[in-house]
Amino acid sequence: MSVAAPITQDVHTIPRKLPDGPANLVGMTRDAMRAALIEAGVAEKQAKMRVGQIWQWIYQWGVRDFDAMTNLGKSLRADLSDRFVIEIPEVVSKQVSEDGTRKYLVRIAGGHEVEVVYIPEEGRGTLCVSSQVGCTLTCSFCHTGTQKLVRNLTSAEIIGQVMMARDDLGEWPEHGTRTQDARLLSNIVLMGMGEPLYNFENVRDAMKIAMDPEGIQLSRRRITLSTSGVVPEIARTAQEIGCQLAVSFHATTDDVRDTLVPINKRWNIAELLEALRSYPKVSNSERITFEYVMLNGVNDTDEDAHRLLKLIDGIPAKINLIPFNEWPGAPYKRSSNNRIHAFADIIHKGGYSSPVRKPRGEDIMAACGQLKSATERARKSRRQIEADAGIANA
């Protein structure tokens, strides 16, 4: 009998309050901010009101400077700037695709870098946010999964990606006004680097901030969390976040799913489906998105499509077919367009919506599952440049 490789989540999260520095107000829940203000000397009776004021400055109007917070007294502002910072990740580079997709490389504490992608569409815009540096899981078709270094992002670093994008899009409403309905950044998908359910608390706190009615104000229906299938956290996601759920399904037998999405060895298809069945009711969301990457000759037959229909029977679902995005050295090929459409047709006739995801930002390597390669390549070329110039360390 073979023993499944252990699936670990031995990643670390840096503490919110660095031992020798001021604490970052960004990423704190309202309760945590209240406690921090009381510790800083704000009277208990006033703390809730102060949180409300500071919250609005930070999340409604995008202000990062305590001095601009004119409804706080001067001495309070000085105290706050002694003890706290309002910090988001720093943008290292930005690339804009021919189709308008923007890819940002941002630097977080420790010098790590993660990628964030903004995808403009007709009447809306989606931000693809990362939850970890790299990923502990090793899905065989995903380039992020081949990255060795992994660390959880803090809630500040997760919501900070949204704030960074709003900065770049120039989308903070003027002080005293509220966000308009038609937004450039109207949706968030947790589909960047990392497995969001292996960083549950930070993802939850960040998404709660994104949904808070006195700030960024995104409806929970406009936030989609994608998981590879961390079964024990699915019920919690419904209860504590309540956003839309997408699941990286990708196969219709355990044998194939074991090789594509190795977390399947820990929680198999039957266990995953059981957890998914109760999700829409508990979270009061409409339907679950099943992501299905189309890999030539691996998971794309008519039989697969029919098996998929049987498996999801009774679950309110949409099947999102993702043409495989190739990366250098990838062990798979993308299914042909004909194959993808034949597959989509069977699903559609079975009564489910089966959109084929249009790859966006391909010219800047911003498509799903490609996020590692661009950064690594940039690093390599920097190294190469240094080597060519004879300045590499011996």
CB of 149 to ligand SAH, least distance (A): 16
Interhelix angle 30-39/44-55, nearest 10 degrees = 130
Cα–Cα distance between 351 and 237 in angstroms, integer? Answer: 27
Query: What value, to the nearest 5°, has the Cα angle with vertex 242 and ends 241 and 244?
Result: 115
For residue 115, indicate whether it is catalytic: yes
Contact of residue 368 among ligand SF4, ligand SAH, none (CB under 5-8 Å per partner type): ligand SAH
**Of residues 115, 157, 195, 291, which has the active-site annotation?**
115
CB of 144 to ligand SF4, least distance (A): 4
The correct pick among 58, 119, 142, 218 for binding ligand SAH (CB under 6 A) is 142
Q: How many CB atoms lie within 10 A of CB 143?
A: 24
Cα–Cα distance between 218 and 387 in angstroms, integer? Answer: 47
CA atoms 237, 241, 245, 249: torsion sign: negative
Please report, as a single letter, which amino acid is at residue 203.
V
CB of 194 to ligand SF4, least distance (A): 6
Distances (CA, A) of 126 to 33, 123, 187: 28, 11, 5
Contact of residue 293 among ligand SAH, ligand SF4, none (CB under 5-8 Å per partner type): ligand SAH
CB of 74 to ligand SAH, least distance (A): 46
Burial of 104 (0-12, 13-18, 19+ CB in 10 A): buried
Stretch in the footprint of ligand SAH (CB under 6 A) among 102-110, 115-123, 136-144, 337-345:
136-144
Residue 16 contacts residue 29 (beta carbons within 8 Å): no
Answer yes or no whether residue 361 interacts with ligand SAH by CB under 6 A.
Answer: no
Distances (CA, A) of 317 to 106, 252, 261, 285, 368: 34, 15, 20, 11, 21
Residue with smallest beta-carbon separation from ligand SAH: 369
Distances (CA, A) of 303 to 251, 282, 299, 308, 313: 11, 32, 9, 8, 15
CB of 101 to ligand SF4, least distance (A): 19
The correct pick among 202, 244, 248, 375 for binding ligand SAH (CB under 6 A) is 248
The correct pick among 76, 153, 156, 191 for binding ligand SAH (CB under 6 A) is 191
How far is CA 280 from its chain centroid? 20
Contact of residue 324 among ligand SAH, ligand SF4, none (CB under 5-8 Å per partner type): ligand SAH
**Contact string 318-357 vs ligand SAH (x = CB under 6 A):** ----x-xx--------------------------------
Nearer to ligand SF4, 114 or 119 (CB): 114
CB of 283 to ligand SF4, least distance (A): 21
For residue 44, indicate whether it is catalytic: no
Residues that bind ligand SF4 (CB under 6 A): 135, 137-139, 142, 144-145, 194-195, 228, 248
Q: How many CB atoms lie within 10 A of CB 221?
A: 14
- Report, as residue numbers or ranges, the catalytic residues: 115, 368
Binding site for ligand SAH (CB under 6 A): 139, 141-142, 191, 195, 226-228, 248, 291, 293, 322, 324-325, 368-369
